[in-house]
Structure 1
């Protein structure tokens, strides 16, 4: 029940920001909270950097105190939100965060939970601007309205959510461990296959076994849509585990010469040449046989192999530890945008047995991969259900409908 709740703008609920310039104290050490410092799964700060004032990034400007809540305005729908713990009192965070320092009328933890409310999430999604790095402004955040109950009701809601989320997070952690173990088992099997070479394996440079390479078609976000003529594969369609994900392919327009040049064929290897540092270099086999032309984005390189190379074997090789180590050394650029160019990639060294042996090895790897993916699907479904449960509890909390009994019942059912 929300008869006593008041609708207030964020600007009226928080104190003014405290800014600082660490470079004015060049010899002093500062604890720096970057945009990547917040764990999205745990919603906590899990990594900080100790920097001297003289070496502080230009974005290190916002002084934080224990009890502050930080909200990343860069890619706001990723919900990088965290409460500043006592151990980080006096740290400096990036200007990529909006710092919310609650006034006495609102509890820090209630404010923290409010930023996860569906209404706030959808407002941020609607307001974000920019194609490559969508963001909202501090003013966008300040202008949002939140429903605020009296302090006793805030305390009651926070207590219920804390208890429920602690139990949910325990189950999430266990499920994520199971998921990681399934992937590690496959990775270990893959590594053993490629580290136990028999006779007849030949090591070659990529350039020697490629029949053609092609960087994809340029189409900006405004030129992409749902009802256009051709499918358009982007870097997000390549998973971090080197699999093709065809669920959310956008569409673009293209003329006949462009279709001929950028059309994908079954067994093309897709290599992500530009991305964030940790994701650049991921690849996958395009294993779909479609009559309808499907094109690909300019952040992807299409690689086609000569006849003596089985494309599926090459795709597994690109995911192997030895090749990933080579790719790691080729990355250039910044943390946000890195690249691997063909002038480096062409010299990567790959070892192949005979074509028949390649196919035999792939059959074994495909069977193991299929079993792994079944397990992954089960764990992902559970993680999705737990995330939805959190959203459901938040919705009930900010609708005035959350009770201890409802929360306990929902958590017990979801974690059974």
Structure 2
């Protein structure tokens, strides 16, 4: 990857003298095949949330036998088809299907017109800034904007002749392959980190117990016995700018804090000082979708931040429980499964209240063991973060080159 970064750090020199101005509809064919779900051999489906922004690779999907799907899930796709999210197109969701399956009628299923374009090149066109802006600008509606195929098919761009498309593909696919290798390495390090933690805390057993088929090697306490404070955040209406940034549920991502999208509250908010976070505070997402409720992260920022009402601040008794240990446990598969036993379903949201959170069972080694264990976990995490930096650099490079070409 480093060699690619150096070789492609500047602008590409491209001779477009024999390139042709085409419309998207000239090179892309919308597929409208439908499926009777009661009489099909297909077993997998893809929802919008299974597709990641600016990622051509499908990493999640569902099994038809496991979940009720609404009547919109009738659209058939085949391996190699392109799936494009036509709702909220600013999310830039484009994936290449790795198998045959079903999706909703709000996801466009696209095949390449292979007389005009190599089918492997079309997904990269759909990642380009020009295509995305056209899709966004032609979207209709405000709450859940959508684009029509007719409007999308009118997008114009310069396309190289088939004889020259392979050279471009070799460059883009080479970078993409390198990114995928780093993503797999990152995932491997994540699995190693979890395995290391589990092997230190649990012993496998044959019978089912509090932690599945694992037994804690240490005394088990309720979280309420290990923490000194459980506090709900502020319920004030938030602004796009202001004095104090307020963390919300979207700022909790995979156990870490993401402060790229913030709302604010005025400095004169009543009792604001009581809602200012301290380093080492644990933030728990008490209300979210059924799949996402229970997200947790640790706060370690130096600036003044507050937190919104859908979050609970947990302050640990640091003589008994390291915040770092608690954060890792609550984000681990075993910890999450125990947390989500307490979720109560709502119309569109699930909830876990503070009283139930206090009942969460936690294996509790002595403080020195926690410190030693977390120092080893952090060593693996450091390597994981280094690989993640490479992934981010690779993705940025890929998009840069896509936009230079198209």
What interval of TM-score do these two structures reach, taking the shorter chain for normalisation? 0.7 to 0.9
The residue matched to 1:98 in structure 2 has which SS?
A: strand
Residues 301 and 190 of structure 1, relative CA distance in 2, 3 Å threshold = farther
- 1:167–1:61 distance in 2 versus 1, CA, 3 Å: closer
Counterpart residue number, 1:137: 147
| Aligned counterpart, 1:377 | 385
Q: Deviations over 1:330-359 (max 9, x none)?
A: 345499954433353233233556xxx43x
Find the counterpart in structure 1 of residue 208 from structure 2. Answer: none
1:231 matched residue in structure 2 = 245
Residue 58 of structure 1 is matched in structure 2 by: 71
Partner of 2:361: 349
Structure 1 residues 6 and 321: CA distance shift in structure 2, 3 A: closer
Indicate how the Cα distance of structure 1 residues 334 and 268 shifts in structure 2: closer, same or farther if over 3 A, else same: same
C-alpha distance in structure 2 between counterparts of 1:238 and 1:370, whole Å: 19
Alignment partner of 1:250 is 2:262: yes
Would the alpha carbon gap of residues 55 and 188 (structure 1) be closer, same or farther in structure 2, given more than 3 Å must change?
Answer: closer
Residues 1:215 and 2:241 are matched in the alignment: no
Moved more, 338-347 or 383-392: 338-347
- Name the structure 2 match of 1:70: 83
Q: Where in structure 2 are the equivalents of 1:249-328 lying within 5 Å?
A: 250-254=262-266, 255-257=268-270, 259-260=272-273, 262-288=275-301, 290=303, 292=304, 294-305=305-316, 309-310=320-321, 312=323, 314-319=326-331, 322-328=334-340
Q: Contact conserved, 1:277 with 1:335, CA < 8 A, in 2?
A: no
Q: Which residue matches 2:117? A: 106
Structure 1 residues 326 and 372, CA gap change in structure 2 (3 angstroms): same
TM-score (structure 2 length as normaliser): 0.73
Q: Which residue of structure 2 aligns with residue 18 of structure 1?
A: 32
Contact 2:45-2:64 within 8 A present in 1 as well = no
CA 1:224–1:187 in structure 2 vs 1: closer, same or farther (change >3 Å)? farther
Q: How far apart, CA to CA, are the structure 2 residues paired with 1:332 and 1:379?
A: 37
2:369 corresponds, among 325, 342, 361, to 361
Residues 78 and 219 of structure 1: is their aligned pair in 2 closer, same or farther, counting only changes over 3 Å? farther
Give the drift of 1:228: 1.9
User: Between Structure 1 and Structure 2, which shows a larger proportion of helix residues?
Assistant: 1
Tell which deviates more after alignment, 166-175 or 370-379: 166-175
Give SS of 1:33's match. Answer: strand
Partner secondary structure for residue 16 of structure 2: coil
Which shows bigger deviation, 255-264 or 375-384? 255-264
Counterpart among 126, 129, 132 of residue 118 in structure 1: 129
Unaligned runs of 5+ in 1: 399-416
SS in 2 for 1:99: strand
**3-state SS in 1 of match to 2:127:** coil
Q: CA deviation at 1:230?
A: 0.6
The answer for the alignment partner of 2:217 in structure 1 is 196
| Partner Cα distance (1:50, 1:330) in 2 | 25
> What is the alpha-carbon distance in structure 1 between the residues aligned to residue 261 and residue 60 of structure 2?
34
The alpha carbon displacement at 1:252 in A equals: 0.8
- Any stretches of 5+ residues in structure 2 without a counterpart? 1-14, 204-214
Relative to structure 2, which stretch is displaced further, 203-212 or 96-105?
Answer: 203-212
The answer on whether the counterparts of 1:182 and 1:375 sit within 8 Å (CA) in structure 2 is: no
Q: Deviations over 1:197-223 (max 9, x none)?
A: 2xxx4x544445555433323477xx5
Task: Give 1:180's aligned residue.
Answer: 190
Check the 8 A contact 2:138/2:152 in 1, yes or no.
no
Q: What secondary structure does 1:384 align onto?
A: helix
Q: Distance in 2 between matches of 1:362 and 1:99?
A: 50
- RMSD over aligned Cα atoms: 4.2
334-343 vs 76-85, which deviates more?
334-343
Q: Is the 8 A contact 2:193 2:377 kept in 1?
A: no
SS at the partner of 1:372? helix
Q: Are residues 126 and 205 of structure 1, via their aligned partners in 2, closer, same or farther at CA, if it must alter by over 3 Å? A: farther
Aligned positions of 1:25-36 closer than 5 A = 26-35=38-47, 36=49
Aligned with 2:120: secondary structure? helix
- Separation (CA, whole Å) in 2 of partners of 1:95 and 1:218: 37
Look up the match of 1:409: none
Give how far 1:70 is off.
1.4
Secondary structure, in 3 states, of the residue corresponding to 1:318?
Answer: helix
